[in-house]
Structure 1
Amino acid sequence: MWTRRRVIFVGVAGVLAAGAAVVLPRLKSAGPAPAGVELVANHTDMLRAVALALLGPALPTAGSERDAQVGAVLKACGALIDNLPASTRREIGDLFGLLALKPARALLGYGGDWPGADSNVVNAFLAGLRDSSISLKQQAYFALHDMVLGSFYAEPTTWAATGYPGPPKLA
């Protein structure tokens, strides 16, 4: 049987918890949004694994050329993020932070680590996000997909390897 003091304590604790749930996200969004270069630097292993999985055959086969191309994609991702509104940069930071936590990754369908990740396993994870009936998972997939592929294909030096002749020339 609960005492009156315990009921009051639990009630006050519940009000404080509810208040914190409302106030803390607003305080977080009031601060400066993370910079794209900072986000990419803090989550390089994850972005590298995603880039290798998504771009696979479009990348050069030689190790040094492949590394240079992935490095260029990651740099372009940072620049892309920097050009987004602050609210979107915060959401991308939240997504990257979620993917950095192993328990959260496991709940999303990938229990491995990012450094040295197998591209086939990462591809299966990304396909699971894409094909999920949960729209937030789909949004996470499309954010990663569009960021990585957009950064890759925006660079004219990658067009020849994919057979794209470039935009039509205007007369």
Structure 2
Amino acid sequence: MQRRTWLKLGAVSATVLILAGGATALLQPGLRQGRLTPGAQDVFTSVARAILDSTLPTEPAQAQAALTGLVPRIDALVQALPPHAQAELSQLLGLLGTGLGRRTLAGLAPDWRSASVAEVQQALQSMRSSRLGLRLQSYQALHDIVGAAYFSDASTWPTLGYPGPLTI
């Protein structure tokens, strides 16, 4: 094959993948009526395990309880976003919820539930250091939402050394 043929094949393949991913995200959104779908909850739970690995309680039952309590806070945070941000987040979560989107955007082969913490951390690091703006923005959105929702709970403040608001 010639170089020009490879470039054409690559461009056509990329277009097909983008269209297929966009169609999938429209058919399977990450948010329904402003609330996280079960697939989106899986994405956030897995991402939270990876991002908060060193800040979660060491006891497995307590760590699971912290993650379970995190999902409703993420849901509340998402509901407070403006409609255009909800629409973009829904597309992102819909895309990450599919096998092709997860592999393409995050570089993660196993599904979110079965991926290990190390695999998700590696995928997030890959997104964080990517030169593609879409991957970097996706990482930043997931990171910021998880961090804001987790540390908005007063029970997590001692981890940061934050004593809480001052009484005036």
Same fold (TM over 0.5): yes
Deviations, residues 67-86 of structure 1 (Å, cap 9, x unaligned): 11111111100000000111
Deviations, residues 60-114 of structure 1 (Å, cap 9, x unaligned): 1112211111111111000000001111111111000100111121122111111
| Paired residue secondary structure (1:70) | helix
- Asked if the contact 2:127/2:135 (under 8 Å) is kept, the reply is yes
- Asked if the contact 2:39/2:97 (under 8 Å) is kept, the reply is no
Please state if 1:43 is matched with 2:11. no
Unaligned 5+ segments in structure 1 are: 1-20
Identify the range of structure 1 (106-115 vs 133-142) with the bigger mean alpha-carbon deviation: 106-115
Give the corresponding residue for 1:98. Answer: 95
Give the corresponding residue for 1:146. Answer: 144
Deviations, residues 26-73 of structure 1 (Å, cap 9, x unaligned): xx7xxxx73443x25342222111000000010111122111111111
Give the corresponding residue for 1:10. Answer: none
| Paired residue secondary structure (1:57) | coil
68 and 35 in structure 1: CA distance in 2 versus 1, 3 angstrom threshold: farther
> What amino acid does structure 1 have at the position aligned with 2:81?
L
- Asked if the contact 1:34/1:89 (under 8 Å) is kept, the reply is no
| Paired residue secondary structure (1:139) | helix
**1:170 positional shift:** 5.9
CA distance in 1 between counterparts of 2:138 and 2:92 reads: 7
- Asked if the contact 1:35/1:81 (under 8 Å) is kept, the reply is no
For residue 158 of structure 2, the aligned residue among 142, 147, 160 is: 160
Give the corresponding residue for 1:75. Answer: 72
For residue 89 of structure 1, the aligned residue among 86, 89, 101 is: 86
**How large is the RMSD of aligned CA atoms in angstroms?**
2.0
Unaligned 5+ segments in structure 2 are: 1-18
| Paired residue secondary structure (2:48) | helix
Aligned ranges 1:60-71 → 2 under 5 Å: 60-71=57-68
CA distance in 2 between counterparts of 1:114 and 1:144 reads: 14
Give the structure-2-normalised TM-score. 0.75
CA distance in 1 between counterparts of 2:37 and 2:148 reads: 15
- Asked if the contact 2:40/2:93 (under 8 Å) is kept, the reply is yes
